[in-house]
Structure 1
Amino acid sequence: MTDVVVVGGGAMGSAAAWQLARRGLDVVLLEQFEAGHVRGASHGASRIFRLSYPDSVYIGLAREAQTRWRELEDVTDTQLLTVTGGVDHGDHPHLHLLADGLAANGVRRDWLTPAEAAERWPGIRFDTRALFHPDSGRLHADHAVAALQQAAAKEGAVVRHSTPVTSIEVRGEDSVVVHTDSGSYPARRVVAAVNAWASKLVGDLVPLPPLRVTQEQPAHFAPLLPEDGWPSFGHIFASADGIYGLATPGEGIKVGFHGIGPEVDPDHRDFTPEPNQLAALRDYARTWLPGVDADDFTPISCTYTTTPDSNFVLDRLGPVVVATGFSGHGFKFVPAIGRVLADLAVDGTRPDPRFTFAR
């Protein structure tokens, strides 16, 4: 019998496999698709890393992740986290909550006037004060997943791609069987880190909150200014609509709306941008990003799995540990969430009430 079967070889599941294996447990990681696939939420070359949250729980997780990203880089001799600095702007009260949260937790930040921000980052238009946080940057998502699986394998974990799980059978508090088309895996625990597929795979086993799966449609815009001069950035309007962006070296400036894509079944996606959203994104780039060519772009497709309050689901019932609902802002926390999932699997330690099944 295996100690833990981890279902889902995206970033979260791979991080859990690494953290579990390094504790000396027998671990099998099962991923339904081939290595490097683009069907979930862990592919691509860029994700934002930031500490800028309004409360200490998320800031604490981000700080832990920052340390663990550097540890993973050392273990695998891979560059994953590039510090570029980050800036948030707009006419929304959330910016002040971010500033207060950073100040309360001793995180470096500074307010800049629109003129100061524009001088520093001429590729972005500013018409309000901007909140600068110098420790922010970007992560290489594809390299991160590969590094996590490499680190897990070094610790003895078995990593198997192209092995879709068909069902999970709970037999007792310390007994579960994970079924695939190619065989079954008895284990003491299962970690289901399947995000968009959570309702399908474990919806009958645990009390999940409602999960909204959407196909998000950012794009890479051709830069008119050097890519290495761009920060990660967020723009929040009074309407609460949000825009995010960052440089993706070699591909352009990635820009996207936050969490407004059409709902989809993750097994039946067309990967095609919705025309009105794409037009709105190009209009935004034309108005607010003088450092890109709004007419020279490459659309991107990924999924968000969003809970009603945008908090994650990190919880356990019996032998079943579940990770889902990362709501478009989870990637920065990946190695810290791997540690959380390992704690849940080993002794049931829960990180915070906001992450439980019952809200």
Structure 2
Amino acid sequence: MIAAHDHVVIGAGVIGAATARALAARGERVLLVEQFGRGHDRGSSHGASRIFRMGYADAEYVALCQQAFDAWRDLEAASGRTLLDLTGAVDHGRPEQIDAIAAALTAADIDHERLSTEQAAARWPGLAFEGSVLTHPSAGRIRSADTIEALLDLAATGGAELRFHTRVTGVEDHGDTVTLTLDGPDGSTSVTATSVVAAVGSWAPAVVGDLFAGRGSGLPALRVTQEQPAHFPSQLPDGAWPSFVHWQLDGPDVYGLLTPGEGVKVGFHGTGPVVDPDHRDLAPVPDQVRRLQEYVVRFVPGVDASAPDLISCLYDNSPTEDFVLDRRGPVTVATGSSGHGFKFAPLLGEMLADLATGGVPHPRFAIPV
């Protein structure tokens, strides 16, 4: 046991912040270290909005969404902030996918409605639809930047120490403990801990990949991509926009939602180039911009497709698009958010806190032995 801290959490994106908050709320002594600044834009958590939706075809994820919904409401109560706006969500496109989502929602007794494309267009004139259409009201928009601030504030209030601009440059596995070398504003220091939570997303292979491999169960192959959604201006009222997912009949899957004050965010799911998270130029890919604008002209007529405000973010994709949440010895890892993890953040923070304090991993998210 180290003198000052029971746990070191690496990474102050939404998952790391949620974990630090969950541990601090349990009375654990927590040090949270982040290589960049507070609320930085170098990873996967930045920006003002994310989708919350229960529209999965997988019953296990639907159940997790229901648990996450309760966790969001608990987080709002604890922080005194509104973080989840229920605008509703609409899925459309491939009939087999919409049928599977409808079946999963029905099995979970979640209210939803099937619509024709004409009915959907009349209800949401800013969108055009194809294939089958489904909507459910227990969905909407997460105030993502506010969420990270709320989690960090609660962690600090609970006694966690937060250090920004502090990079982990060395990890030494001693069996029951790990020594981290930290490079921060005041130089290099080391911390030895009996519990480290590496909530580092795209950086997981670099930070703890060797440690996990040395313990006989390396991390799943992670594919890190630079995604390029964009905000598009709209003259329609904010209430005209649900969150939406388009399972295209011919093309990549697409997601979108309104970010109040910034426009309607639209992006392709997981189509960006593979990158090294430490060596990104953040430069727009012209062909991707063109394809996104062509899509918006056809399927999002309620925005100005000629004026995209481009965004650059990272996806850390696991081979199955399931999360990776597991522990080996003193180290717990969180990676593989695969573009859909933010909606689960308060719940995942509790799950990681469970792991860090001796719990067992969720079978679906465990690393194969």
Q: Using structure 2 for the length normalisation, give the TM-score.
A: 0.94
Distance 1:59 1:94 in 2: 14
**Correspondence 1:115 to 2:118:** yes
- After TM superposition, list the pairs within 5 Å mapping 1:129-208 onto structure 2: 129-173=132-176, 175-181=177-183, 182-206=188-212, 207-208=218-219
Aligned to 1:215: 226
Pairwise CA RMSD: 1.3
**Residue 167 of structure 1, CA deviation:** 1.9
- After TM superposition, list the pairs within 5 Å mapping 1:298-309 onto structure 2: 298-309=309-320
Which amino acid letter does the alignment assign opposite residue 252 of structure 1?
G
Distance 1:92 1:248 in 2: 28
Distance 2:291 2:238 in 1: 23
CA contact (8 A) 2:13 2:39 kept: no
Distance 1:220 1:334 in 2: 23
**Residue 136 of structure 1, CA deviation:** 0.6
**Residue 348 of structure 1, CA deviation:** 3.0
**Correspondence 1:331 to 2:342:** yes
The Cα offsets for residues 230-274 of structure 1, whole Å up to 9 and x where unpaired, read as 000011123462000000000000000000001111111111221
Aligned to 2:98: 95
Which amino acid letter does the alignment assign opposite residue 356 of structure 1?
A
- 5+ residue gaps, structure 1, are none
The alignment covers a number of residue pairs equal to 357
Aligned to 1:356: 366
Aligned to 1:82: 85
**Correspondence 1:254 to 2:265:** yes
**Correspondence 1:49 to 2:52:** yes
Aligned to 2:215: none
The Cα offsets for residues 141-195 of structure 1, whole Å up to 9 and x where unpaired, read as 111111101111111111111111112222123x222221231122111000000
**Correspondence 1:344 to 2:355:** yes
The Cα offsets for residues 18-70 of structure 1, whole Å up to 9 and x where unpaired, read as 11111111111101101121000000011000111122321222222211212
CA contact (8 A) 2:54 2:65 kept: yes
**Correspondence 1:285 to 2:296:** yes
Higher mean Cα deviation, 210-219 or 139-148? 139-148
Distance 1:30 1:127 in 2: 46
The Cα offsets for residues 186-236 of structure 1, whole Å up to 9 and x where unpaired, read as 211100000010111111011101101000000001113112320000111
CA contact (8 A) 2:30 2:161 kept: yes
CA contact (8 A) 1:62 1:336 kept: no
CA contact (8 A) 2:169 2:181 kept: yes
2:64 is paired with a residue of what secondary structure?
A: helix
Aligned to 1:105: 108
Distance 1:316 1:107 in 2: 33
Q: Percent identity?
A: 50
**Residue 92 of structure 1, CA deviation:** 4.6
CA contact (8 A) 1:316 1:348 kept: no
Distance 1:205 1:94 in 2: 39
Distance 1:347 1:55 in 2: 28
CA contact (8 A) 1:10 1:145 kept: yes
Distance 1:268 1:89 in 2: 36
Which amino acid letter does the alignment assign opposite residue 181 of structure 2?
H
Aligned to 2:19: 16
CA contact (8 A) 2:238 2:258 kept: yes
1:213 is paired with a residue of what secondary structure?
A: strand
Aligned to 1:271: 282
The Cα offsets for residues 116-154 of structure 1, whole Å up to 9 and x where unpaired, read as 111110000123331101111011211111110111111
The Cα offsets for residues 278-337 of structure 1, whole Å up to 9 and x where unpaired, read as 100000000111101111220111000001111110001111100001000000000000
CA contact (8 A) 1:227 1:253 kept: no
